[in-house]
Amino acid sequence: SQQGEEDPQALSIQEGENATMNCSYKTSINNLQWYRQNSGRGLVHLILIRSNEREKHSGRLRVTLDTSKKSSSLLITASRAADTASYFCATGRSQGNLIFGKGTKLSVKP
Amino acid sequence: DADVTQTPRNRITKTGKRIMLECSQTKGHDRMYWYRQDPGLGLRLIYYSFDVKDINKGEISDGYSVSRQAQAKFSLSLESAIPNQTALYFCATSDAMGTSGTDTQYFGPGTRLTVL
């Protein structure tokens, strides 16, 4: 059962542009996390935002969380070719484990 | 050295064979997880363990079993492999407090399993 759904499924941009990915979920959460996966490799944690937070920054990453709309967005500013990867949101509830979405495939063209 | 390692990295086997995938971690985390990833389906949880004596089924445990040999080792077995178990398998760890497994997870590099 998928909790988070990313949108769009695929995104292609030019180097230097900003990339925005969205995640919607269905039930109440404790936190929401974003992970990156380079092709065929393990996932790498990017950022965690708790349910009582609205925005969080980490380097070129900006995450927002709107619990009333049950949605989150990940913004990557000034994208680089090395940002090419799949990005997953994962939601955490008070009981249970992380539930991952299906991912957004980002392609950054040089 | 990588904090979470998986062996083998690639495996091709035949239907009906027993397969074991191994995961080791040097992060000192109590919690370990096994996921499978299929194209277009994201990650799905197979089994998880919050400590050596605690093993729990995840979303898709049928056809799989696990063993937590030590804090640092968590193995996944396919007793009789079938083609629809062809997938990318990931082990992950976390150092969570509390009763849920919702803190940051650290993933191994994955095992690509093909069942013919």
Please write the tens of the pLDDT for every residue from B3-49: 999 999 999 999 999 999 999 999 999 999 999 999 877 899 999 99
Q: Is B90 on the interface with A (CB under 8 A)?
A: yes
Task: For residue B44, list chain A residues with Cβ-Cβ distance below 8 A.
Answer: 100
Point out the residue among A30, A42, A44 whose CB comes nearest to the CB of B110. Answer: A42
Substitution target from A98, A100, A105 for chain B, most B beta carbons within 10 A:
A98
Has residue A95 got a pLDDT over 70? no
| The pLDDT of residue B88 | 97
Separation between Cα atoms, residue B6 and residue B58, nearest integer Å: 20
Is B42 in contact with A88 (Cβ distance < 8 A)? yes
Q: A41: exposed, middle or buried (C-beta count within 10 Å: 0-12, 13-18, 19+)?
A: middle
For B51, other C-beta atoms within 10 Å of its C-beta total 11
Confidence of residue A3 (pLDDT cuts 50, 70, 90): low
Task: For residue A92, list chain B residues with Cβ-Cβ distance below 8 A.
Answer: 100-103
Residue with tokens 């759904």: A5
B50-101 confidence digits (pLDDT tens): 889 999 999 999 999 999 999 999 999 999 999 999 999 999 999 866 655 5
Q: How far is CA B78 from CA A70, A80, A99, B115, in A?
A: 37, 40, 23, 11
A46: Cα separation from own chain's centroid = 8
Is B104 in contact with A48 (Cβ distance < 8 A)? yes
- Residue A96 Ramachandran class (φ > 0 left, ψ -120 to 50 alpha, else beta): left
The DSSP code sequence of A49-60 is: EETT-SEEEETT
The mean per-residue pLDDT over the stretch A14-33 comes to: 94
| The pLDDT of residue B40 | 78
Task: For residue B33, list chain A residues with Cβ-Cβ distance below 8 A.
Answer: 97
Chain B segment 50-69 residues within 8 A of A by beta carbon are: 58-59
For A16, other C-beta atoms within 10 Å of its C-beta total 11
Point out the residue among B100, B101, B109 whose CB comes nearest to the CB of A42. Answer: B109
The mean per-residue pLDDT over the stretch A78-104 comes to: 90
Query: Which residues, listed in sequence order, are joined to residue A97 by a DSSP beta bridge?
Result: B101
Task: For residue B58, list chain A residues with Cβ-Cβ distance below 8 A.
Answer: 97
The span from the first CA to the last CA of chain B, in angstroms, equals 33
